[in-house]
Amino acid sequence: MNKKQKKLLKRILMALAIFFAILLIDETGLLVSAFGSTGAVYASFALYLIPYLIAGHDVLRKAWHNIRRGDAFDESFLMTVATLGAFAMVLFPSADPHMAEGAAVMLFYQVGELFQSYAVGKSRKSIAALMDIAPDYAHIERDGELVDVDPAEVPVNDIIVVKPGERVPIDGIVIEGASQLDTSALTGESVPRSVEEGSEVISGCVNMTGVLHVRTTKPFGQSTVSRILELVENASEKKARTENFITRFARVYTPAVTISAAMLAIIPPLAGLGAWDEWILRGLTFLVVSCPCALVISVPLSFFGGIGGASRLGILIKGSNYLEALSKVDTVVFDKTGTLTNGTFEVVAVHPEAGVDADRLLFLAAHAESLSNHPIARSVVNAYDNEVDQQLVANAQEQSGHGVIATIEGRKVLVGNDKLMAEHGIEHPSCKLTGTMLHVACDGAYLGHIVISDTIKEDAAQAIRDLHASGVKRCIMLTGDRADVANDVAQRLGIDEVHAQLLPQDKVSKVEELLANAQGNLAFVGDGINDAPVLTRADVGIAMGAMGSDAAIEAADIVLMDDKPSNIARAIRVSRKTMRIVWQNIVFAIGVKLLILVLAAVGIAGMWLAVFGDVGVAIIAILNAMRAMRMA
């Protein structure tokens, strides 16, 4: 509890104590014997005003403030009118006045407010705690001594030192030391990851055992930590349709009930249907029940909880609109490389043409690929035993879905698939092996090919099974790779439909075609190398966060921090659970309120039931909303 909440709690407790003391004096007839039956009414008026003002003075002030600003109709207005009205019943001293109820409504309203602010604070804190990954400082070595600096001031390629127990502040590569990293805050994965010299480390992980010297590869602002924090901070701005609906609903609803309540209080007695005091009281009761706070708070809180719960699993959802969209997904389209496969290719075979040296083939391929970030490119560079000499490479150009073209030692080198070769009119033999082919040509002459193959992610088959089990109708794979590789992967994973040899723009048109025919929503999952446009086009774009490119993480609506496709089914489960909770709250709150409203209008429900209809329902709805935070 924060200071403000503690203060409110103190006020409420004090007001409650006074309230019950007065109630006791009132009910035992002490007031009547002291002041006579009419005098007792005025005495209790004065007495109940004390706890009322202690508990509710700020609500009155807020209502007054809003009226003066010209937007009167909020819940503090409803409460002020209802409670002041209850006190005003003193004007009908003969008709069992309702000061006690007036004070009670205000008291319980404040209890509800306190509870609500506590719940909101708590879920915000749980996200903040999860996201408590922002480092305050980084150690850098200067003249053999460690100094602490603001992480934002550490340049790329500087060396930082991370001691055991500390968080890695900036993304980088280990140059000295070995340790275990706890990545759970980022990925939800509880098994620690071992790192040693040469390993990449991402910021936000906790270094557990050894001292690490890390050469930074990104500035702080582009490190994982900063990117995640940015995503989470912006998430609350993107509201779900249900959420917007509730806000709009409350805007018309509050004036509507105020007018109905006024009519209920005025028309029947004018029509001679009963005493004024009775109908005014019904009108006031009506006002109290109809307060929309249960909805206004619990719906956004449920979404907030869902997003928080998901982030604990390493699933970052950029807004409640995406959570809502995800719950209606029935088609999931996957990119292959880097999404269903690890994207770490191994060279299976090197087939040079007669008279060409195998090492020369690898030398050319690795140099041409040295500037590309494509998983294929990185693997080729890794397979090349020697250092790549960037000086030898000029005009390197990547042609997405085709390969790369570069000038090496003054010769024009092409490295890529059949499409690239066909485009430049270079004949090439076919290869018996199954795998991704990297054809190499130099100055128009075919030199041979390198066969590389990727490994399927451990949980990919499980991911597809889980998706089917959770009711997703179609799992489709799109790839730029060859059909035989694609079919092989699809068959092993149980994918329903495969489309191979697609260029990035073909993927967009394929997804558009699927979108046109889909009933539910379509999610596209990609690692984002080349597929940022598709990610934006799909109803829900899901990107791999650890391996994925920055562009993909920007373009995506949901980011899987640990690159596990099996988290997609979990994300869908989270979204459905959240939507269930949202709808439960909407139906429950509106249902109970309608019931009490009807009972109040016909005079069966009194103020006490109205208090339950408002505060009770709000508390139950908030408790229900907080369930969204606890995820399987």
Residues that bind ligand ADP (CB under 6 A): 335-337, 369, 372, 374, 376-377, 398, 401-404, 415-417, 436, 438, 479-481, 529-530
Minimum separation from the CB atom of position 450 to ligand ADP (A) = 9
Residue 454 interacting with Mg ion (CB under 5 A)? no
Q: How far apart are CA 455 and CA 607, in angstroms?
A: 67
Residue 488 among the catalytic residues? no
Q: Which among 368, 392, 390, 398 has a CA at the least distance from the CA of 380?
A: 368
Tell me the residue number closest to Mg ion, measured at CB: 337
Minimum separation from the CB atom of position 171 to Mg ion (A) = 21
**Please, is 71 exposed, middle or buried when counting C-beta atoms within 10 Å of its C-beta (0-12, 13-18, 19+)?**
exposed
Residue among 172 and 338 whose Cβ is closer to Mg ion: 338
Look at residue 571 and give the partner it binds from Mg ion, ligand ADP, none, a contact being a CB closer than 5 to 8 Å depending on partner kind.
Answer: none
Minimum separation from the CB atom of position 418 to ligand ADP (A) = 8
Minimum separation from the CB atom of position 404 to ligand ADP (A) = 5
One symbol per residue from 323 to 362: x for binding Mg ion (CB under 5 A), - otherwise; what is it?
------------x-xx------------------------
Q: Which residues contact 550 (CB under 8 A, 6 or more apart)?
A: 222, 227
Residue among 189 and 488 whose Cβ is closer to ligand ADP: 488
User: Of 171, 182, 335, 531, which residue is the catalytic one?
Assistant: 335
Structure tokens at 18: 């006074």
Minimum separation from the CB atom of position 529 to Mg ion (A) = 5
Q: Which among 404, 327, 416, 336 has a CA at the least distance from the CA of 373?
A: 404
Tell me the residue number closest to ligand ADP, measured at CB: 480
Dihedral sign from CA coordinates of 543, 546, 552, 556:
positive
Q: Which residue has the tokens 């409420």?
A: 12
Minimum separation from the CB atom of position 377 to ligand ADP (A) = 4
Residue among 261 and 365 whose Cβ is closer to ligand ADP: 365
- Tell how strand 411-416 and strand 436-442 pair up: antiparallel
DSSP count for the chain of H helices, then E strands: 21, 22
Residue among 216 and 372 whose Cβ is closer to ligand ADP: 372
Residue among 330 and 550 whose Cβ is closer to Mg ion: 550
At position 200, the amino acid (one-letter code) is E
- Tell how strand 403-408 and strand 172-176 pair up: unpaired
Residue among 376 and 495 whose Cβ is closer to ligand ADP: 376
Neighbours of 355 (CB within 10 A): 7
CA distances from 303 to 309, 319, 390, 587, 627 (A): 10, 9, 49, 16, 11
- Tell how strand 521-526 and strand 329-335 pair up: parallel
Look at residue 417 and give the partner it binds from Mg ion, ligand ADP, none, a contact being a CB closer than 5 to 8 Å depending on partner kind.
Answer: ligand ADP
- 8 A C-beta contact, residue 511 and residue 363: no
Neighbours of 462 (CB within 10 A): 15
Q: Which among 227, 130, 126 has a CA at the least distance from the CA of 187?
A: 130
- Tell how strand 474-478 and strand 329-335 pair up: parallel
CA distances from 495 to 317, 330, 466, 489 (A): 25, 14, 12, 8
Q: How far apart are CA 293 and CA 300, in angstroms?
A: 11
Number of residues located near Mg ion, criterion CB under 5 A: 4
Residue among 544 and 626 whose Cβ is closer to Mg ion: 544
Minimum separation from the CB atom of position 454 to Mg ion (A) = 10
Minimum separation from the CB atom of position 500 to ligand ADP (A) = 9
Look at residue 377 and give the partner it binds from Mg ion, ligand ADP, none, a contact being a CB closer than 5 to 8 Å depending on partner kind.
Answer: ligand ADP
Minimum separation from the CB atom of position 226 to Mg ion (A) = 25
**Please, is 527 exposed, middle or buried when counting C-beta atoms within 10 Å of its C-beta (0-12, 13-18, 19+)?**
buried
Residues numbered 500-529 forming contacts with Mg ion, rule: CB under 5 A: 529
- What secondary structure letter does DSSP report for 489? H
Residue among 402 and 570 whose Cβ is closer to ligand ADP: 402
CB neighbour burial string for 302-335, b if at least 16 within 10 angstroms, e if fewer: bbbbbbbbbbbbbbbbbbbbbbbbbbbbbbbbbb
Q: How far apart are CA 630 and CA 308, in angstroms?
A: 9
Residue among 111 and 529 whose Cβ is closer to Mg ion: 529
At position 624, the amino acid (one-letter code) is N
Look at residue 480 and give the partner it binds from ligand ADP, Mg ion, none, a contact being a CB closer than 5 to 8 Å depending on partner kind.
Answer: ligand ADP
Look at residue 577 and give the partner it binds from ligand ADP, Mg ion, none, a contact being a CB closer than 5 to 8 Å depending on partner kind.
Answer: none
Q: Residues with catalytic annotation? A: 335
Interaction site with Mg ion (CB under 5 A)? 335, 337-338, 529
